[in-house]
Chains A and B, each alone.
Chain A
């Protein structure tokens, strides 16, 4: 990676940290408050691409592990990684990678607007939701012992919020691509 790539990764990691500091939004029809941090994961992939996006997320996880309060709501430290929902955090890194991989393959600068939107949406849903859940739900199920089915099913309450985030990531990813394209020049 060039110096510029390292700086881009660090700046995006800082953006993900800031997104976690913003107050969570509560929508009437969804039972759980929505935090913007996992939106940052989708955006990292959609804007920086696979390698730099995953590096930005890994950097945030590293900062959290060494004891800085970088996760949503000012949480941090190894205790977060010892909790039952740590799988979602760990899944953020491969999530951003897959999201970036799909965005890099599907999105072209000379495409029609609609196909760009759909490509970003596919990248956010597959990378930012499916891959993250693929790590989060089995981890949670393992940690909950014999009640694995109940807790795994209950974690699906976050799905509507995550779909909204994928939609926002789609709009923001395409807007950043139009304003300051970084995705085409892969690291």
Chain B
């Protein structure tokens, strides 16, 4: 149901450590916003596109994943074309599209568990001051992945029950039973977690 967006492979990006990729992405973001010379931005866009395709994602899949964000980038570029100048539109388009493609490349080459390990490490300083516990975050992530399909099927059941009674399926009349039914499970799930001793203090 909730399939991760990473692609199996052995490209240089796949082998890079997660932290390295995130630092690279962040520095690229800063760099792209500092530079406004098309002679640098066009090669940067080409490099990002090449990096994304070098992950073995395939052109169609790469386009499907980024098309919505690229569409908003195009809208922003169009606004620049109308209000400022064609040159400015090209600058904004190359800058934002390069960043989006690079981010998609990082996502395509990093598995969920690798990301979670890195996040657990990033949370350790917060854990020391008692803000949040890394183990709790992993538990919550696991619970969401586990329960999304169940809640979706519960939504379908509620919509089905509406149709069986000849009622129109309205957001409000489906949402309230969906939320109450789902949250009522919290007690049993919490008891099951505590009974198994997942959260030892």
Give me the interface of A with B, judged by CB distance under 8 Å.
Answer: 1-4, 6-15, 17-18, 21-22, 25, 36, 39, 43, 47, 59-60, 62-63, 65-70, 73, 75-85, 140, 143-147, 149-151, 154, 168, 171-172, 175-176, 179-180, 182
Bound state CA distance, A154 and B82, in angstroms?
13
Tell me the smallest distance from the CB of B93 to a CB of chain A, in Å.
10
Bound state CA distance, A66 and B29, in angstroms?
18
Question: A172 contacts B4, CB within 8 Å?
Answer: no
Interface residues in B57-107 (C-beta closer than 8 Å to A): 65-66, 68-69, 72-73, 75-76, 79-80, 82-84, 88, 91-92, 96, 99-104, 106-107
Question: B178 contacts A15, CB within 8 Å?
Answer: yes
Bound state CA distance, A156 and B147, in angstroms?
34
Asked if B193 is an interface residue, CB under 8 A from chain A, the answer is: yes
Asked if B38 is an interface residue, CB under 8 A from chain A, the answer is: no
Asked if B25 is an interface residue, CB under 8 A from chain A, the answer is: yes
Give every chain B residue within 8 A of A182 (Cβ-Cβ).
183
Question: B190 contacts A145, CB within 8 Å?
Answer: no
Give me the interface of B with A, judged by CB distance under 8 Å.
Answer: 2-6, 25, 29, 65-66, 68-69, 72-73, 75-76, 79-80, 82-84, 88, 91-92, 96, 99-104, 106-108, 110-112, 115-116, 119, 136-137, 139-141, 143-145, 147-148, 151-152, 155, 171-172, 175-176, 178-180, 182-187, 189-190, 193-194, 199
A4, A79, A172: residue with the most chain B Cβ atoms closer than 10 Å: A79
Interface secondary structure of B, over-half rule: helix
Interface secondary structure of A, over-half rule: helix
In the complex, residue of chain A having the shortest beta-carbon distance to the beta carbon of B110: A67
Bound state CA distance, A36 and B106, in angstroms?
28
Question: A82 contacts B69, CB within 8 Å?
Answer: yes
Question: A180 contacts B184, CB within 8 Å?
Answer: yes
Given A68-B112, A83-B100, A180-B184, 20 further pairs, Cβ under 8 A: A3-B199, A7-B143, A7-B186, A10-B143, A11-B182, A15-B182, A17-B2, A43-B179, A59-B137, A66-B112, A68-B2, A69-B5, A76-B107, A79-B104, A82-B25, A84-B72, A84-B73, A85-B72, A147-B76, A179-B180
Bound state CA distance, A172 and B39, in angstroms?
53
Q: Of B82, B155, B171, which one neighbours A150 at CB under 8 angstroms?
A: B82
Tell me the smallest distance from the CB of A75 to a CB of chain B, in Å.
6
Tell me the smallest distance from the CB of B24 to a CB of chain A, in Å.
12
* Smallest CB-CB A-B distances: 5 pairs: A77-B107, A10-B143, A78-B103, A66-B115, A83-B69
Give every chain A residue within 8 A of B110 (Cβ-Cβ).
66-67
Give every chain B residue within 8 A of A151 (Cβ-Cβ).
75-76, 79
Question: B140 contacts A10, CB within 8 Å?
Answer: yes
Question: A67 contacts B112, CB within 8 Å?
Answer: yes
Question: A63 contacts B144, CB within 8 Å?
Answer: yes
Bound state CA distance, A14 and B112, in angstroms?
17
Question: B96 contacts A179, CB within 8 Å?
Answer: no
B2, B66, B108: residue with the most chain A Cβ atoms closer than 10 Å: B2
A10-B143, A77-B5, A171-B172 known; A3-B151 Cβ under 8 A: no
